Every structure is written in structure tokens, then in C-alpha cells.
Amino acid sequence: MRETGSNETNVHIPLRVNGEEHEASFASYKTLLEVLREDLDLMGTKHGCELGECGACAVLLDGQPVLSCLVLGLECEGREVITIEGIDAGGKLHPLQEAFADLGAAQCGYCTPGILLTAKNLLDTHPNPTRGQIMEALSGNLCRCTGYLQIFEAVEAAIASTIGAGEKADVPQRAARAAARSQPTSKADRQALR
């Protein structure tokens, strides 16, 4: 880290975000949320309460979910940051993104990036979690639209798609019920999940 000459409060540090190296210069008081949105133009991470209460700003830092409104950008030097823009694989949606789009688990979509990243961490660490473990993992992510049921069912559908049919025999039925309740998803809906 070094301070820029023109402004003693600015820092200039390398940041690794979604597998890409960035040279970022920003005011030392900026949160990771602000650096991502304002300096790296990664708008998928959402501003919510900025008080650590809503989960809308969640990203992965060294693989762990963190609330980016509570982390200083300069704390992230030399660490790996993953945002919603970085969870697809070569342009293909992550199974969680597919399930959320298919089952109507994103409505306004404001909470969705934080929920997807938190759920991704859960699936990375517990490939076959119970409904209770899913609820506990997502308990810090608030959603004003869905009532949460579609979200839990979408996570379970993503699990089913990744671990194979049969290991969670009841998931397809729940997913089908959720799909029947949901509105048809459009290309715009899918864009909202990015």
C-alpha cells in the first residue's frame, strides 16, 4: 500500500477481484462496498442499510461471506474478493443463479446478489445442507419480496442439480411446486441475477 501524492488520505493498492488484478486508488476511509461500486464499477453488490443488518452487500472475501459495508477497502490488499459478477463459470450461470431464475426466487432482485454469494459459500462448504442449515446460513440476508420460501427451494433445487437426482428425492417436487407458483421468467429476470 502507498499513499498517493496528491491526496494524503488516498491509498493505492492492488486488489484481486473475481480473479482479476486491479490497481485501485481510493480514499482510505472507503468501504469495500464503495470501492467495488464507485472505483471498480462493479455495481452488482448492492447498497442497503450500510449498518451490517440487511446482507444486501455480501461478497466473499478469501472464500468467506462478509458484509462489504463493514470492511474497509484497504483491508483487502492481497486478498481474494468474489462478487456476484464473478460466480458464473465462463459465461454460464452458476447453478444457484439458474435455480433462482427458474423458480422465481428473485423478484425485485435487490437482495439476490448477497443471498447468492452467501448460499454459494454454504454449498462450497456443505454440499448437501438441510433446510435448517440453509435457513441459518441465510438468516442475515433480508428479502422484502419473496417470503423466503422460494429462496430456500431454489437453493435446494441448485443442490439437486449439482449432486444428482435421487440424493434429495423430495427436492424436485418442491421445486416443481415453486415453479408453478412463480411468474414466467424472462431474459430481463435472468439479467437481474448477474
Footprint of ligand FES (CB under 6 A):
47-50, 52-57, 67, 69, 106-112, 143-146
Residue identified by cell 423458480 is 103
- Minimum CB separation of residue 70 from ligand FES in Å reads 7
53 vs 167 by CB, closer to ligand FES: 53
Q: Residue 12: is it exposed, middle or buried by C-beta count within 10 angstroms (0-12/13-18/19+)?
A: middle
Closest CB 106 distance from ligand FES, rounded Å: 5
Which residue's CB is nearer to ligand FES, number 48 or number 95? 48
Q: Return d(Cα 175, Cα 160) in angstroms, integer.
A: 10
Cα–Cα distance for residue pair 193/108, rounded to 1 Å: 10
Cα–chain-centroid distance for residue 17?
Answer: 13
**Closer to ligand FES by Cβ: residue 18 or 45:** 45
Helix axis angle, 95-102 relative to 112-125, nearest 10°? 130
Give min distance, CB of 63 to ligand FES, in A. Answer: 19
Q: Between residues 69 and 103, which has the closer beta carbon with respect to ligand FES?
A: 69
Shortest distance (Å) from residue 56 CB to ligand FES: 5
Q: Which is nearer to ligand FES, 55 or 86 (CB)?
A: 55
- Identify which of 90, 122, 82, 112 has the alpha carbon closest to the alpha carbon of residue 190: 112
Contact 29, 18 (CB under 8 A): no
CB of 183 to ligand FES, least distance (A): 12
The DSSP-derived string for 139-179 is TT---SSS-SHHHHHHHHHHHHHHH-TTTTTTHHHHHHHHH
Q: Which is nearer to ligand FES, 46 or 94 (CB)?
A: 46
C-beta of 178: minimal distance to ligand FES in Å? 14
